[in-house]
């Protein structure tokens, strides 16, 4: 299991053939109370950097980009009833979607723990 | 280098207090102000609806206008001061009683709104008005009022102190301990009160839909008043984020969004702010248009919308039953009290009845939206027993 980060504050956790995507704890702190999450359709094909989801805080909407290319296989349905899960546990129960990766090597180009810690200080 | 350099932002007197409380400082109307404290906007919003929230609104523009060459007749001196500002606004300022406050609108020659503001008649000094304008429009408003004053009146800005708002159902109980005499104020009146060795201008007013008070505090007492109020366990500091969600639930317009230089008071649903006397005299800027709109020739009107799904923000299109664009959202967001998206926007009068089914376009998708009566959350202003 490898977790990598984007400079836009998404995380991607690769677990075997699939990857879990969400926003980092730092990102949820910066956004404040999240009141709505718009998730991609299952089956949607994403290229790295494509807009994949939208999180709405009380103040504003923020786009969530695909950290890597692939196909959406599952979305976190719990977020439609309880978007605050992203605040409470962004890297656990507040995950957003799962995907199969079409170019797994892209993940190697993302930020590791140390590099992400550096930009989210 | 296109971003405004942050060093040009002005700071409020209590900047250090906000930072010490963990306030997240953001630029707003040229000032650095806390959008929220660590508990977050929803918790702050709910606290204000249930207890009492303390807001620093020192970026706004308090000021005084005092007529020159007083006659000594209180009514004549007040009428002379009112006549100066009535050239700019549509409200009945002449009819104010001592200590009474009126919400009114500063208009341009085409009946568009330059600002919404509060004008009050001094409870103590005949011929003096207390005027509070919005931060973003402050310099232009002050210039217009000073020009209108000319040689007839002295105009003094008073935005060098702190302006604090205490809002919520427990605000009056907090004030009963802080400065008991203030609880005798009726809604939309103000008085001058001694606190320690300072004189505070305190009004029973606010912009959250709750009972509450607003206090103009001299600079050298700002920190002490802030600390004294926050020492009460019923009071928590509240940032701009909750200030916005509270006023949105209360259906109150925000200048720069729901009011601008093209929008008339009639279109904004603020007919109550255009007094009968002024309308009959048609003696304010843009009166021709506004009188015509009162007569029914209205192209658009502000409505509240209950939005299904994601919040529809300022600028989103409103779609009619056939899918055509019929208007625009001017304020929108999430209502913590109702746990759903709500919005304000403008639609043709024929589509403005409560219950009308419309849609809003959010990220290219139409989401159902229903016209709702305003306010979304009932006002709970203090009404003095008769």
Interface contact B38, partner A, CB < 8 A:
no
The nearest CA of chain B is from the CA of A60 a distance in Å of: 8
Return d(Cα B250, Cα B266) in angstroms, integer. Answer: 19
User: Which two three-digit tokens encode residue B126?
Assistant: 């005949």
- Which of B314, B287, B289, B311 lies closest to B299 in space, CA to CA? B289
Q: Name the band, by pLDDT with cuts 50, 70 and 90, for residue A121.
A: confident
> Is the interface score ipTM higher than 0.95?
no
Please state the three-class secondary structure of B255-297 as a single string: ECCCECCCCCCCCCCCHHHCCHHHHHHCCCCCHHHHHHHHCCC
The nearest CA of chain B is from the CA of A105 a distance in Å of: 31
pLDDT at position B8 is: 84
Helix, strand or coil, per DSSP, at residue B351: helix
Measured between CA atoms, the residue of chain A closest to residue B44 is: A33
Output the DSSP codes for B40-86.
-HHHHHHHHHHSEEEEE-TTSEEEEEEESS--S-HHHHHHHHHHHHH
CATH of A2-107, one of 2.40.50.100, 3.40.50.970, 1.10.1200.10, 3.40.50.20: 2.40.50.100
Return d(Cα B226, Cα B20) in angstroms, integer. Answer: 13
pTM check: above 0.90:
yes
pLDDT at position A17 is: 82
- Which of B119, B116, B118 lies closest to B129 in space, CA to CA? B119
How much of chain B is in helix, strand and coil states, percent to nearest 5? 25, 35, 40
Q: Are B97 and B120 in contact (CB under 8 A)?
A: no
Interface contact A63, partner B, CB < 8 A:
no
> Which of A29, A35, A38, A62 to probe by mutation at the B interface, max B CB count within 10 Å?
A35
**Pair type for strands B10-11 and B31-36:** parallel
pLDDT at position B386 is: 66
pLDDT at position B5 is: 52
Question: What residue ranges of chain B have pLDDT lower than 70?
Answer: 1-7, 386
pLDDT at position B191 is: 98
pLDDT at position A55 is: 96
Kind and range of the H or E run holding A105: helix A105-108
- Burial (CB < 10 A; 0-12, 13-18, 19+), residue B275, is buried
**Facing residue for B310 by CB, picked from A32, A33, A38:** A38
Task: Find tokens 């202003």 and name the residue.
Answer: B381
Return d(Cα B284, Cα B303) in angstroms, integer. Answer: 25
Q: Name the band, by pLDDT with cuts 50, 70 and 90, for residue A59.
A: confident
Q: Are B9 and B30 in contact (CB under 8 A)?
A: yes
pLDDT at position B1 is: 36
Q: Structural domains in chain B?
A: 6-58+161-249 (3.30.1360.120), 61-157 (3.30.70.1400), 299-386 (2.40.30.110)
Helix intervals (H) in B87-212? 138-149, 171-178
Mean pLDDT of chain B: 96
Contacts of B337 in chain A (CB under 8 A): none
- Residue B82 has phi, psi (to 5 degrees) of -60, -40
- Which of B111, B59, B17, B57 lies closest to B247 in space, CA to CA? B57
Each residue of A96-119: pLDDT tens digit?
A: 999 999 999 999 999 999 999 999
Task: Find tokens 């007492």 and name the residue.
Answer: B221
Return d(Cα B240, Cα B262) in angstroms, integer. Answer: 26
**Pair type for strands B301-307 and A45-46:** unpaired
Q: Name the band, by pLDDT with cuts 50, 70 and 90, for residue A1.
A: confident
- A59:B341 CB<8 A: no
The nearest CA of chain A is from the CA of B251 a distance in Å of: 17
pLDDT at position B384 is: 80
Output the DSSP codes for B323-347.
S-EEEEEEEEEEETTTTEEEEEEEE
Return d(Cα B336, Cα B340) in angstroms, integer. Answer: 7
Each residue of B240-282: pLDDT tens digit?
A: 999 999 999 999 999 999 999 999 999 999 999 999 999 999 9
């Amino acid at each position: 299991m490898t977790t990598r980060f984007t400079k836009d504050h998404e995380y991607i956790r690769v677990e075997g053939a699939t990857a879990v995507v969400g926003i980092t704890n730092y990102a949820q702190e910066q956004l404040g109370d999240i009141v709505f999450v718009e998730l991609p359709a299952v089956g949607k094909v994403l290229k790295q950097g494509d807009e994949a989801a939208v999180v709405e805080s009380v103040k504003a909407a923020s786009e969530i980009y695909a950290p890597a290319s692939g196909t959406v296989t599952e979305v976190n349905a719990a977020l439609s009833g309880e978007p605050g899960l992203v605040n409470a546990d962004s890297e656990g129960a507040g995950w957003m979607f799962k995907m199969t990766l079409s170019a797994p090597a892209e993940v190697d180009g993302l930020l590791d723990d140390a590099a992400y810690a550096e930009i989210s200080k | 280098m296109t971003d405004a350099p942050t060093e040009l932002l002005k700071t409020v007197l209590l900047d250090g207090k906000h930072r010490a409380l963990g306030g997240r400082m953001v630029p707003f109307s040229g000032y650095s102000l806390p959008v929220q404290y660590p508990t977050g906007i929803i918790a702050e919003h709910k606290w204000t609806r249930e207890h009492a929230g303390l807001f620093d609104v020192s970026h706004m523009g308090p000021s005084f206008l005092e007529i020159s060459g007083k006659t000594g007749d209180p009514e004549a001196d007040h009428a002379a001061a009112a006549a100066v500002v009535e050239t700019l606004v549509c409200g009945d300022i002449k009819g104010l009683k001592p200590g009474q406050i009126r919400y009114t609108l500063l208009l341009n020659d085409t009946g568009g709104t330059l600002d919404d503001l509060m004008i009050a008649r001094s409870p103590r000094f005949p011929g003096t008005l207390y005027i509070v304008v919005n931060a973003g429009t402050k310099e232009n408003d002050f210039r217009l009022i000073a020009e209108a004053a000319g040689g007839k009146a002295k105009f003094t800005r008073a935005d060098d102190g702190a302006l604090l708002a205490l809002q919520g159902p427990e605000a009056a109980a907090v004030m009963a301990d802080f400065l008991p005499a203030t609880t005798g104020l009726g809604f939309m009146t103000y008085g001058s009160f001694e606190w320690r060795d300072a004189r505070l201008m305190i009004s029973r007013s606010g912009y959250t839909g709750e009972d509450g008070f607003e206090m103009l505090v001299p600079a050298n007492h700002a920190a002490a008043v802030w600390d004294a109020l926050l020492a009460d366990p019923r009071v928590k500091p509240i940032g701009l984020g909750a200030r916005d969600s509270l006023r949105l639930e209360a259906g109150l317009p925000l200048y720069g969004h729901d009011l601008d230089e093209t929008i008339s008071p009639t279109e904004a649903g603020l007919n109550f702010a255009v007094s009968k006397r002024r309308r009959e005299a048609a003696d304010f800027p843009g009166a021709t248009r506004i009188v015509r709109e009162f007569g029914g020739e209205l192209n658009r009107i502000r409505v509240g919308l209950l939005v299904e799904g994601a919040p529809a923000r300022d600028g989103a299109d409103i779609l009619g039953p056939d899918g055509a664009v019929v208007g625009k959202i001017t304020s929108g967001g999430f209502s913590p009290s109702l746990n759903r998206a709500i919005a304000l926007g403008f639609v043709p009068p024929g589509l403005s009845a409560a219950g009308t089914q419309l849609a809003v376009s959010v990220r290219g998708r139409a989401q159902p939206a229903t016209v709702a009566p305003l306010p979304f959350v009932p006002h709970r202003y203090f009404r003095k027993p008769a």
